[in-house]
Structure 1
Amino acid sequence: QRLSGSCKGGRKAEPQFYHLWKTPLADIYAENIIPAGRQSTFVIEGRQMTVPLPGPGNTENAIAAWAVCKQLGVTIDNFGQMLGSLPEISMRSQIQETGSITLINDCDNANPASMKNALAILSSLNADGKRRLVFICGDMAELGGQSEQLHTELGAEAAKAGVNLLLTVGRYCRITADAAKSEKDDLQINCFEDTKILCNNMENFIKDSDIILVKGSRVNKLEAAVEKIRQRFDKNNV
């Protein structure tokens, strides 16, 4: 209602600039950003905020949301309360414990920015470096003429994120895999033409205590892989 009222009034406001960090041009920015696995904390205008969602992307989204809410008259206290109660969204950076496995279910969609964000989440969950990081990586769809280049960059990003086992699926699976191997020669990699073939072979690769990121565009239907992992490792299914 506040947004609707502001729009109808035709009121013009001075442009506001926001940034993840303090810069000379930023009117709104965050300080003391502390990622903590499943959530992040930061300070805006002297008030500590908690984003109960993982990844740097959600922190940046929260800062952008405050830039809008502030213009609509929402107080910093009310904003903090609303932010702290955000629910997780199914198949979007959804962290789930399945037996000894930690599963990041991010099957809803994928693009270069969201892939990078998801890999940051994967790395953050292995702070002590004692667990194996697994990336079940589907294609990113609808990238046009940049598809091969962006999947090459994705493979390199996966290697840099500390992934130990890379299982790629789809049309660009070998491009992603080759780029990852070039970046990290000892990376274990397997390629699959589609998700069905992956699911039929996955038991040969996944181990107890793995941290597994499952992410790709909807065309991959990687939720089938998530379900396969749950069936094997969820103690309630035994």
Structure 2
Amino acid sequence: MTIEQLYSLYKEHHSVSTDTRNIIPDSIFFALRGERFNANEFAGQALASGAKWAVVDEAKYATDERYILVENVLATLQDLARYHRGQLNIPFIGITGTNGKTTTKELLHAVLSQRFKTYATKGNLNNHIGVPLTVLSINDDIEMAVIEMGANHQEEIAFLCDIARPTHGLITNVGKAHLEGFGSFEGVKKAKGELYDFLKTHDGVLFLQGDNEHLREMEIQRGISKIVRYGFSSANDVIGRLEYANPLLCVSWKVHDAAVYHTVSTQLTGSYNTENILAAVTVGHYFGMDDDHISQGIEAYAPTNNRSQITRTTHNTIIADYYNANVSSMEAALANMAVIEADHKVIVLGDMFELGENTQEEHRHVVDRALAIGADRTIFVGEAFYAHQNTKAEFYETTDATKKAFRERPIVNSTVLLKASRGMAFEKLTEVL
């Protein structure tokens, strides 16, 4: 079966499935493989659950005409997404960066949806499987697509761009993350810059944080011609300023030649999110949206999934930011704690993963930075942090040990930052805060 023939089957219902627990009726089931599973084994179950076709790459499972046998299921899924993307003549906005990708994607969706029928990456489907699934979820009545792209190795962003083919794009920032895969900070810049390479080659539009020296350098190296700049200085096309973070953000913005600022009260915490808000404002303005609709979209967005999320318990205000963590996002979270107005501040940080040979150096740096805030209590959790214990803070090897300590010495009437890599399971700590 050619990809064109497979596409004609896809067009019948515009839906694909990859999980037998959530089969979309009359969809095409793609039997993907993983380290611990082989979905070829479940193709029959998918058909029994409502799928119309099953794409497999092991002949023994292709027992009747409902099975489509291919050489590689994942490659076929990616090829189908490429083909579908080629039929869509709408703006595709690609987003990558070290921190803030998902929040920026959600903000863009919130703003653009005020005027356009917009589809954005669901959750964190931003890899070699998630991006094809996202593209294949876009039907003919969608007017705008926002595609999040993640990576932890070189050439991943280039590969995802080849599938999603962004017409517009932005890099939120570049920082120290996934150093095991990227090798160095320069490796991070090279990998994220693959989005800039694609925009340059295909005459795309770049939305640039014009005050970020690393992003400016990366753009200058490539000589991109179509650039819309946002930031805090007067040289940008959209100019913003943080009014306060207490702990929710209030941000003002205006286009370059406007006389007055528009002030927006948000449901976001974290002063670092001001840039993400400005990115969404800039994209909305570029696509001709009026100022009120842009602000309404920003105000309506409420974060979820423990990203810059405020949770108020009986005893404390919690800044839940433990979906992920790296050196750059740790520094941003700590900088935010420094400016938040609160009678009592508590900082709880958990280990950062995938730092390779830089693990000890970077955890020591974060310890020093956190202690400089002068919080009422500063607490470090995990083996990497535990190696740098001192008398100025509390150190625990595990999240469970920390939870026990919080029961013995409760935290009350405080603004508490919870920041860690996802694997530290910091949601356990909210139970005792």
Matched, 1:75 2:287: no
Counterpart of 2:315? 100
Q: 1:166 aligns with which of 378, 382, 385?
A: 378
Counterpart of 1:221? 425
Contact 1:170 1:194 in 2 (8 A): yes
Q: Taking structure 1 as reference, are residues 40 and 112 closer, same or farther at Cα in structure 2, changes over 3 Å only?
A: farther
Q: 1:151 aligns with which of 343, 363, 368?
A: 363
Q: Taking structure 1 as reference, are residues 165 and 148 closer, same or farther at Cα in structure 2, changes over 3 Å only?
A: same
Matched, 1:191 2:405: no
Q: Taking structure 1 as reference, are residues 112 and 43 closer, same or farther at Cα in structure 2, changes over 3 Å only?
A: same
Alignment coverage as a number of residue pairs = 216
Amino acid paired to 1:40: C
Amino acid paired to 2:302: P
The structural deviation recorded for 1:53 is 0.8
C-alpha distance in 2, partners of 1:31/1:38?
14
Root mean square deviation, CA, Å: 2.7
Q: Taking structure 1 as reference, are residues 177 and 28 closer, same or farther at Cα in structure 2, changes over 3 Å only?
A: farther
Q: 2:304 aligns with which of 66, 85, 89?
A: 89
Amino acid paired to 2:409: F
Q: 1:184-230 deviations in whole A, cap 9, x for unaligned?
A: xxx4x22211112222222233333232211100111111111232x
Q: Taking structure 1 as reference, are residues 16 and 177 closer, same or farther at Cα in structure 2, changes over 3 Å only?
A: farther
Counterpart of 1:200? 404
Matched, 1:41 2:129: no
Amino acid paired to 1:158: A
Matched, 1:3 2:91: yes
Contact 2:245 2:340 in 1 (8 A): no
Q: 2:240 aligns with which of 13, 25, 30?
A: 30
Amino acid paired to 1:29: I
- 1:55-74 alignment, distance < 5 Å: 55-74=270-289
Q: Taking structure 1 as reference, are residues 58 and 210 closer, same or farther at Cα in structure 2, changes over 3 Å only?
A: same
C-alpha distance in 1, partners of 2:346/2:227?
43
Q: Secondary structure at the match of 2:91?
A: helix
Q: Secondary structure at the match of 2:418?
A: strand
Contact 1:31 1:44 in 2 (8 A): no
The structural deviation recorded for 1:97 is 2.2
Q: Taking structure 1 as reference, are residues 137 and 11 closer, same or farther at Cα in structure 2, changes over 3 Å only?
A: closer
Q: Taking structure 1 as reference, are residues 172 and 32 closer, same or farther at Cα in structure 2, changes over 3 Å only?
A: closer
What percentage of aligned pairs have identical amino acids?
24
Q: Taking structure 1 as reference, are residues 157 and 196 closer, same or farther at Cα in structure 2, changes over 3 Å only?
A: same
Highest Rg: 1 or 2? 2
Which structure is richer in relative contact order (CA contacts within 8 A, separation 6 or more)?
Answer: 1
The structural deviation recorded for 1:86 is 0.6
C-alpha distance in 1, partners of 2:242/2:324?
30
Q: Taking structure 1 as reference, are residues 32 and 193 closer, same or farther at Cα in structure 2, changes over 3 Å only?
A: closer
C-alpha distance in 2, partners of 1:91/1:97?
13
Amino acid paired to 2:287: L
Q: Taking structure 1 as reference, are residues 160 and 57 closer, same or farther at Cα in structure 2, changes over 3 Å only?
A: same
C-alpha distance in 1, partners of 2:365/2:310?
25
Amino acid paired to 1:48: H
Counterpart of 1:209? 413
Counterpart of 1:52? 267
Amino acid paired to 1:27: D
- Structure 1: which 5+ runs fail to align? 182-186, 230-238
C-alpha distance in 1, partners of 2:237/2:272?
20
TM-score under structure 2 length normalisation: 0.45
